[in-house]
Amino acid sequence: MTITHPAAPAPAPQTAESVTYDQLARVTGRHDWWRPIIGTFVLLGLTVVGMILVFARFESIATSLDFPMDADGMRIYDDLTETALSLATIAMGLPALALTLWWFQRRTWGSVTSVTGRLRRSWLAGCFAVALVVFVISAVIMGVVGALTEPETTTSEDVWVGWGTFAVGLLMLLYLVPLQAAAEEFLFRGWLLQATGSFLRNPILIVIPQALLFAAAHGWGTVWGFIDLTVFGVVVGWLTIRTGGLEAAIALHVTNNLTAFIMSSMYVGGLATDETAADMPWQYALVDMGMIVLFAVLILQLAKRFKPAVQLNASASRS
């Protein structure tokens, strides 16, 4: 008599773990608890080295062109060159980040771009459209607020620079400002947000450290300016997690910086000012924070139509 044994039960299907953008550092590349910490210092060091190299290159060019020197033996730059130097040094955060990702964590550039591992261009274009609409509304409201709260004054900033100077400045700004703004987003909403996500799971707690560091990096101006920058960091950090990538943050940051720089470049001495968003007075800060919240609301509505991927299959990422 043949004894038959019942077939072994089929193994229970494994549920693939899906992770959000802020958790990508744990499942892409090489991860240990200490890598985000040491990697942050490595990233900072590489960024500083890049800044020094850019400054040295500018000094070399200025020397060859015989720029005048000040009492300390430093070359004196015009407003456009000074602005280009400032933007280019910040943009060095991009290659520094790429090197840190590859060398220290063995993961790709795309792992800090979005959960799909790439820049989602159609979604980015939609985010830019929303950012432009919000900026137009913001500019109108701030113009009204400025007219009501600030006395009219006539300064050198009211003098048109001329088409030649403006055209040169516009080309420089169109090239460098997107790189500068994107670098800040990749560093703060990219690396730092994911580094924090390596230790924490609560999105609310994850977005706070990078937002505070982002505000601090702009220097101390006014209390309202610091609050405004912190709100910006919190909101775009939260949007980055909710939409699965940096596209919304990049769109808002680039649009904000590019329009501000272009408007400043239109007038004599406009680019010479040292004021940043950190120096924002209370009335403008309130308007700006309202516009940031409006941007977030519109982006979430747009996401319902575009349906961008917001999670990564962790098991697939390891295969």
Q: Is 240 part of a structural domain of the chain?
A: yes
Q: Which of 183, 188, 184, 296 is nearest to 248 (CA)?
A: 296
pLDDT tens, residue by residue, 33-78: 899 999 999 999 999 999 999 999 999 998 888 888 887 777 888 8
Of residues 4 and 233, which shows the higher confidence score? Answer: 233
State pLDDT tens for residues 84-138.
Answer: 999 999 999 999 999 999 998 999 999 999 999 999 999 999 999 999 999 999 9
Task: Establish if 232 belongs to a structural domain.
Answer: yes
Does residue 6 fall inside a structural domain? no
- Structurally, the chain folds into a number of domains equal to 1
3 part of a folded domain: no
Does residue 9 fall inside a structural domain? no
- The answer to whether residue 4 sits within a structural domain is no
Please state the three-class secondary structure of 172-237 as a single string: HHHHHHHHHHHHHHHHHHHHHHHHHHCCCCCHHHHHHHHHHHHHHHCCCCCHHHHHHHHHHHHHHH
Q: Which of 170, 130, 183 is nearest to 298 (CA)?
A: 130
Are the C-beta atoms of 304 and 5 separated by less than 8 Å?
A: no
Q: Which residue has the tokens 């159609």?
A: 122
Q: Residues with Cβ < 8 Å from 215, sequence gap 6 or more?
A: 226, 229, 230, 232, 233, 278
- Give a yes or no: residue 316 inside a domain: no
pLDDT given for residue 314 in this prediction: 59
**pLDDT by residue (tens digit) across 265-282?**
999 888 887 778 888 999
Q: Who contacts 188 (Cβ-Cβ below 8 Å, separation ≥6)?
A: 210, 211, 213, 214, 217, 233, 237
Which tokens in the block code for residue 260? 């501000």
Kindly report the pTM of this predicted structure: 0.90
Range of the domain at 212: 18-310
